[in-house]
Amino acid sequence: MITTDFPPGSPCWLDLGTPDVPAAAAFYGAVLGWDYESMGEGEDTEGGMFRKDGKIVAGLGKLTEEGARSAWMIYYGVTDADATTEAVERAGGTVRVAPRDLGQWGRMAQYSDPLGGQFAVWQPGETKGVELVEEPGALTWTELYTSDAQAAKEFYGTVLDWRFSDMELPGGGGVYTLITPAGLPEERMHGGLMELPAEDLALTDGQPYWHPVFAVTDCDDAVAQVTANGGSVQMGPEDAEGVGRLAVCLDPARADFVVLAPAGE
């Protein structure tokens, strides 16, 4: 369960890097009911914010890194971005963006884990994080696909002080690892990780990657909007026992995300 009190180690922000800001704004508006608020003049600006029912749910920015794929970046809350950066380096990760202040809002840094999975951290200032979670059109889960689950547990456990619990997937589907911030009960788990063969990580040429899971009221309707607006579906829709109905999707620029209609809703 993700909450907006944002205890250390929990997801608190996410933003999308895309080659076409207006196209992405239109796509997610159609699929998730988001409104786009530009941070500059005109429609073809470098970025802005997504809102749902007036509340900020994500950021959007122009993809500027040469050779980078369009993707969602998930930020986890920390109390000290500089100390986290040192922990990342000691644990074998790479600093992609060194800690930097973003005015009065907070301090951020971006990294790669030892196998290449990209993530970020946020040390809050005036801005703690997104304003809406666990509601239709908002973040409800984060997920890592990796070729080495044990290595991921060791790295993220060291860097972000996460706790892990494994569960067997039905039908021999493998092991899924649930993630909970340190010191919190399991009902505050915020994400999971799953080991997949490198050949199944085609989006990143075999490297691990994180993606967000967004709650929706009707998974099939959301998928219909994905395909009607230039996106595609990697998996689903399908029912996951005790979880809900979900689908793994790609937006028109091939950034991956999941839509989930939670069970019992």
* Owning domain of residue 38: 11-124
pLDDT at 67: 80
Whether residues 150 and 64 share a domain: the answer is: no
pLDDT in tens, 72-101: 999 999 999 999 999 999 999 999 999 999
Which helix (H) or strand (E) is 178 found in, with range?
strand 175-181
- Checking if the pLDDT of 225 tops 80, the result is yes
At residue 193, the 3 state secondary structure works out as strand
- Checking if the pLDDT of 113 tops 90, the result is yes
Tell me the pLDDT band of 64, cut-offs 50, 70 and 90: confident
Round the CA-based radius of gyration of the chain to a whole number and report it.
17
Tell me the pLDDT band of 172, cut-offs 50, 70 and 90: confident
Is residue 114 included in any domain, yes or no? yes
Contact assessment for residue 96 and residue 113, using Cβ atoms and an 8 Å cutoff: no
CATH number, residue 256: 3.10.180.10
Whether residues 171 and 238 share a domain: the answer is: yes
Q: pTM for this structure?
A: 0.95
Is residue 132 included in any domain, yes or no? no
Whether residues 91 and 158 share a domain: the answer is: no
Rounded-to-integer distance, Cα 210 and Cα 73, Å = 8
- Checking if the pLDDT of 265 tops 90, the result is no
Q: What percent of the chain has pLDDT over 70?
A: 97
Whether residues 217 and 169 share a domain: the answer is: yes
Rounded-to-integer distance, Cα 194 and Cα 208, Å = 10
Whether residues 149 and 104 share a domain: the answer is: no
Whether residues 79 and 180 share a domain: the answer is: no
Strand order, beta sheet including 47-52: 35-38, 47-52, 55-62, 11-18, 71-77, 118-124, 106-112, 94-102
Is residue 189 included in any domain, yes or no? yes
How many domains, in total, are found in the chain? 2
Whether residues 194 and 231 share a domain: the answer is: yes
- Checking if the pLDDT of 170 tops 90, the result is no
Tell me the pLDDT band of 186, cut-offs 50, 70 and 90: confident
Is residue 88 included in any domain, yes or no? yes
Nearest 5°: the CA angle 141, 216, 18 is 70
Find tokens 């600006």 and name the residue: 45
Is residue 60 included in any domain, yes or no? yes
